[in-house]
Structure 1
Amino acid sequence: MFRTLDDLPGDRRVLVRIDVNSPVENGDVRDNKRFSRHAETLRELADAGHRVAVLAHQGRPGRDTFVDLEGHAEILSEHLDREVRYVPDTYGDRALEAIRGLESGEVLLLENVRMVDEELADRSPEAHAESALVGTLAPEFDAYVNDAYSTAHRAHASIVGFPRVVDAYAGRVMEAEYEANSAIQNREFDGEVTMVLGGTKADDLIYVMERVEHTVDRFLLGGIVGELFLRAAGHDVGYDVEGSELFDEQWDEGEETIRELFEEYGDRIRLPADLAYEDDGERSEVGVEGVEKETSFLDVGGDTVAEYESFVEDSEAVFVKGALGVFEDERFAAGTVGVLEAIASTDAFSVVGGGDTARAIDLYDLDEGNFSHVSIAGGAYVRALTGESLPAIEALER
């Protein structure tokens, strides 16, 4: 197991890696749950008197979201209720001067680490540890804290390089996310374990289903993956109609695996009994028996919601990855919100993962405290569910 902030000695110069990668609108970064979560770790370090410098990324080179972190510093300052200074430099002279000038309890945000070519280089952890980025910054710090669980599946320089040369610890977000998200692999539950799968990326969910069949008693499907499995079951859905490009390519790539999973684990896979669509601006529903798809389906129907709610109520543990419908439109939020409300009303151990699903909790004013854990991770959450190793965790444990 890795060390945490409970093991960190006092009065240290600390380099913290966080993940506040966020939507950008008209050049402005938008606040989200990641800022508030990481602010808790930074506040704890600052209140303890550490001198804190922060590494983070935003976007990827060539994309519209690839911007500097000045706006991120402003948002973090609001969440911390203290100034987070920003320096438009990552490991050059300006950054080093700002780092060396840190006083006890101060927090400094360095420039977007992905503006450094070495960050994304395809190298081993040993090679990353010898990069100019790590080699220059590491001597300036007594400790390295990785709080960026959302990037734990990335073997980037700021993730796996520093733990090779600096005492390394897990931040509070890293600690909580890893414990909750790996529970399906590491914990034993006496009752039934249910997994709710939805969203638009079927390949991720198929990958999960293949690897958790021994630990999950029931899969409740919706979204794109729900329609694709309905297609495998012989229903006339799960393909593109005019205006959609979500199904055909994913079916071509995953048909064989989908059919194999449905044949082998069909008794544990629950498919939508009805689906919802837009008709003259209103929500309409149709049963899947005998349906002919002529328009896009945007949610599971009421009968499905009721059935899924009853399965949730009988579960000891529930893991959620992806939304069951287009919940951003209130007309088609019944599936996603209904299941989340059912989970929230039980005593089941529950983990809600995937950025979209977590956003639904905020959008519909659900109490996050009614869930065991709400994950802010995507790819790392999927890998944790399947028990696959995460480079960041391996680096911290080493």
Structure 2
Amino acid sequence: MGSDKNNYLTLEDVELKNKRVLLRIDVNSPMDPVSKRILDDSRFRSHVGTLKALRNSKTVLLAHQSRPGRKDFTTMEKHASKLSEILNREVKYIDDIFGKRAQKEINKMNNGDIIFLENIRFYSEEVLEREDEKQKETFLVKNLSPLFNYYINDAFAAAHRPHPSIVGFPQTLPSLAGKLMEKEIKTLESMIEDNGKTYFVLGGVKVKDSLKVMENLLERDEASKIFTTGVLSILFLDSKGIDIGKKNKEFLENEIEYQKQSKRAIELLEKYQDKIEIPEDVAINKEGEREDVSVEKIPDEYRIEDIGIETIVNYSEKLKDGQKIVMNGPAGVFEKDKFSIGTEELQRTTTESEAYSIIGGGHICTAAEECGLKNYFDHVSTGGGALMNFFSSDQLPALRLLEESKEMYS
């Protein structure tokens, strides 16, 4: 079973006609907190290729929406309806996950049927992060596995999570990568191959994650240069000994485990200073107005909310000779028009360059959508967390288990 072109099985490797398949997708989407209306259906559309390939199978969908305690934590009824609308075929919602009702409906399926099971995060074991072996012993995996011929993972956006629905089933069923999963993995793997200058533009507020990505990329010599923006760049300015002002220092101390992350940034600068770009000027929010100041003249009383104009020009010029560019996280507080300039201009430079460009992460993708540039990127990744995890660790849990499943069932 399977070919040697991948270390994991894909839809092309097996005959799926007349087979009962369990398909893990990721349609976790922004929803109106009152009406529960789905506000963005792009994740639904990303799975259409896989679902069309399964038109002669009996397909059961597993997915989640949000997490317990949040306003958008809800059933999958609206999701089933939205998918049915996109596919122009019935998608039957079942308000059960692995109980008798779900099992009964699965057992009486005909070829071409699609069932959408309930939000798997309604089931408490799904959010536990434990060893792979323990995840296959969960009630979810033990109850559903006997009902299926194959498990298919198409949920790249959740590929970094070692949950039962991601790592449990590949240990009990022959498992395949869906079309979206396969596309995402191949695209990201191509970015770290040694063929040309690869630039990373990192920003946003998740400093800890960004530092992990930097450490991994620089240690493996997989990044030609890393351009820091957002809160990450403020940390690097501070780590370089630049006075970032009282207000910004307090922000770092309160929000990012300052002592620990500062030490990591200092060590990176000591080892890889020639590969790390930091701003030469910043934009401060002076009572609602944008004011660009040199990093040598940052005042105590105002917050930094974007990279400065000179930095935008400098970064843009350097980005032009990249062969591959990966962007994750906005350069500033893009929700405010006056502080969206850095984010928008770096995206514009990237999409107008000759480089193969990838963008990933909810906020920066939203910013790209708002300024009309999203469709000009060569690849828009469906998962920001998975994207960052791919570049910061040895392997995504989902991919690791798909590879182990191929070895087990080939």
**Fold equivalence (TM over 0.5):** yes
Question: Cα 1:83–1:362, aligned 2, differ >3 Å: closer, same or farther?
Answer: farther
Indicate the SS of the match to 2:323. strand
Deviation at 1:397, TM superposition (A): 0.7
Q: Secondary structure at the match of 2:227?
A: strand
TM-aligned CA distance change 1:110 to 1:6, over 3 Å: same
Tell whether 2:136 aligns with 1:129.
Answer: yes
Please give the alpha-carbon distance, in whole angstroms, between the structure 2 residues aligned to 1:109 and 1:202.
36
CA shift for structure 1 position 287: 2.0
1:196 aligns with 2:201: yes
Name the counterpart of 2:40.
31
Taking the aligned partners of 2:90 and 2:337, their CA distance within structure 1 comes to 38
Answer with 278-287 or 138-147: which moved more. Answer: 278-287
Larger deviation: 12-21 or 125-134? 125-134
Larger deviation, residues 63-72 vs 155-164: 63-72
Q: CA deviation at 1:171?
A: 0.8
Aligned to 2:73: 66
1:215 aligns with 2:212: no
- The 1:367–1:181 alpha-carbon spacing in structure 2 relative to 1, beyond 3 Å, is same
TM-score, with structure 2 as normaliser: 0.89
Report the Cα offset of residue 393 of structure 1: 0.8
| Residues in 2 aligned to 1:353 and 1:2: alpha-carbon distance in whole angstroms | 24
Say whether the 8 Å CA contact 1:274–1:303 is kept in structure 2.
yes
Q: For residues 157 and 374 of structure 2, what CA distance do their matches in structure 1 show?
A: 22
Decide which moves more: 58-67 or 219-228: 58-67
Q: Write the deviation string for residues 184-206 of structure 1: whole angstroms up to 9, x where unpaired.
A: 44x112x3221111000111111
Distance 2:119 2:205 in 1: 29
- Separation in 1, partners of 2:109, 2:370: 38
For 1:397, the equivalent position in structure 2 comes to 403
1:247 offset after TM fit, Å?
5.0
* Structure 2 residue aligned with 1:379: 385
Q: Which residue of 1 aligns with 2:330?
A: 323
Shift of 1:215: 1.8
Kept in 2: contact 1:31–1:75 (CA 8 A) = no
Q: Show the counterpart of 1:92.
A: 99
Alignment of 1:313-392 (within 5 A): 313-368=320-375, 370-392=376-398
**What is the aligned partner in structure 1 of residue 271 from structure 2?**
264
**Partner Cα separation in structure 1 for residue 41 and residue 338 of structure 2:** 24
Conserved? CA contact 2:81–2:91, under 8 Å: yes
Change (3 A) 1:356 1:346: same
- 2:247–2:300 Cα contact (<8 Å) kept: no
- Alpha-carbon distance between aligned partners in 2 of 1:238 and 1:339, rounded to the nearest angstrom: 25
Query: 1:43, 1:112 → 2: CA distance?
Result: 23
Query: What residue number does 2:147 align with?
Result: 140
Q: Take 2:242 and 2:328, find their aligned partners in 1: how far apart are those partners? A: 24
Evaluate the alpha carbon distance shift between residue 306 and residue 248 of structure 1 in structure 2; reply closer, same or farther with a 3 A threshold. Answer: same
| Number of residue pairs the alignment of both structures matches | 392
- 1:232 paired residue number: 239
Q: Aligned in 2, Cα 1:387/1:155: closer, same or farther, shift over 3 Å?
A: closer
SS of the aligned residue for 2:373 comes to coil
Query: Offset of 1:322 from its aligned partner?
Result: 1.0
The whole-number CA distance in structure 2 between the counterparts of 1:42 and 1:238 is 53
Structure 2 vs 1, CA of residues 211 and 238 (structure 1 numbering), >3 Å: closer, same or farther? Answer: farther
In structure 1, the partner of 2:408 is: none
What is the identity, as a one-letter code, of the residue corresponding to 1:35?
A: F
SS in 2 for 1:310: helix
* Structure 1 residue 274 corresponds to structure 2 residue 274: no
**1:32–1:293: structure 2 CA closer, same or farther, 3 Å change rule?**
farther
**Higher alpha-carbon deviation: 230-239 or 84-93:** 230-239
* Matches of 1:295 and 1:68, distance apart in 2: 43
SS of 2:115's partner is strand
SS of structure 2 residue aligned to 1:182: helix
Compared CA separation, residues 384 and 326, structure 1 to 2 (3 A): same
Does the CA contact (< 8 Å) of 1:235 and 1:290 recur in 2? no
Q: Relative to 1, partners in 2 of residues 1:12 and 1:205: Cα closer, same or farther, differing over 3 Å?
A: same
Structure 1 residue aligned with 2:61 = 54
When the two chains are superposed, the root-mean-square deviation of aligned CA atoms in Å is 2.2
**Which region of structure 1 is more displaced relative to structure 2, 113-122 or 340-349?**
113-122
Q: CA deviation at 1:280?
A: 5.2
Query: TM-score by structure 1 length?
Result: 0.91
- The 8 Å contact of residues 52 and 105 in structure 1, kept in 2 or not, is answered as yes
CA distance in 1, matches of 2:245, 2:111: 58
Deviation for aligned residue 1:246:
5.0
Instruction: After superposition, give the CA deviation of every residue in 1:252-284 in whole Å (9 maximum; x if it has no partner).
Output: 221111111112212221111222233454433
- Quick one: distance in 1 between partners of 2:328 and 2:286? 28
What letter corresponds to residue 179 of structure 1 in structure 2? K
Q: Summarize the Cα distance change of 1:300–1:86 in structure 2 as closer, same or farther, 3 Å threshold.
A: same
- Identity across matched positions, percent: 37
For the 8 Å contact 2:21–2:151, the answer to whether it is kept is yes
Shift in Å, 1:162: 1.2
Conservation of the 8 A alpha-carbon contact between 1:17 and 1:146? yes
Please give the alpha-carbon distance, in whole angstroms, between the structure 1 residues aligned to 2:108 and 2:336.
Answer: 49
The 4+ residue runs of structure 1 with deviation greater than 6 A are none
Write the distance in 2 (CA, Å) between the matches of 1:246 and 1:75.
Answer: 41
Distance in 1 (alpha carbons) for counterparts of 2:223 and 2:80: 41
Task: Please state whether the residue corresponding to 2:401 is helix, strand or coil.
Answer: helix
Q: Which secondary structure does the structure 1 equivalent of 2:214 belong to?
A: helix
Distance 2:50 2:247 in 1: 45
Is the 2:33–2:72 contact (alpha carbons within 8 Å) kept by the matching residues of 1? no
Name the CA shift for 1:45/1:331 in 2 (closer, same or farther; >3 Å). Answer: farther
- Structure 1: gaps (5+ residues): none
